[in-house]
Amino acid sequence: MRVPILKARHHLGALTSRGDRAENEDRFKVGLMNEVVTTEGLPPFYFAIIDGYEASLYSLITVMEETFVLILLSIIFTILSRRLERPIQNLFWTLGGQTLEDISDDFILACSTVC
């Protein structure tokens, strides 16, 4: 049987309130990293809260979604590397001489190939 995690009252409580503000700029996101289901073991859960400010709602949502896509990608990659025991340690975390931008393109590419 599958129960959506946000409806599992016994395991998770999640609530957001606008308070006296015009708009609610808080968000939360809960999930299971399904992408690693193919490897052995239980995929990890993640829980996140976001408190936006001075925000047009549109851009806030963009920040949020990009954040999680990237965090998820990076974490998936870690878990895969741990499970598969692949020696990928030194592939990306080599900031010397490179900017973060240079690395990130390789990084995302590598994530998608491994997944």
Partner 1 sequence: MSIEQRLSLGFLEADLSFLKEYPDDESGACVSVAMITSNDDLPFWDSRNAEVHVAHVGDTRVLLCHCETGHALTLTPMHHPASTIEADRLRKYARSIATDAFGQERFGLLANTRSFGDSRMKRMGVSAEPDVSTIKLGSGIDEYAFIVLCTDGITSVTSDQEIVDIVKGSKEPSDAAKAIIAFAESLGTDDNSTCLVVRLSGWGTKMPDHTKDMRDWRVANEGINSKTSRSR
Q: Is 56 helix (H, G, I), strand (E, B) or coil?
A: coil
In the complex, least distance from residue 38 CB atom to partner 1, rounded to whole angstroms? 15
Phi, psi of 101 (to 5 degrees): -65, -45
In the complex, least distance from residue 97 CB atom to partner 1, rounded to whole angstroms? 17
13 is a contact residue toward partner 1 (CB under 8 A): yes
Angle value at C-alpha 58, between 56 and 59, nearest 5 degrees: 75
How many residues bind partner 1, per CB under 8 A? 61
- Per CB under 8 A, residues contacting partner 1 are 9-21, 24-28, 30, 41-42, 44-56, 59-60, 62-64, 66-75, 77-79, 81, 88-89, 92-93, 100-101, 104, 107
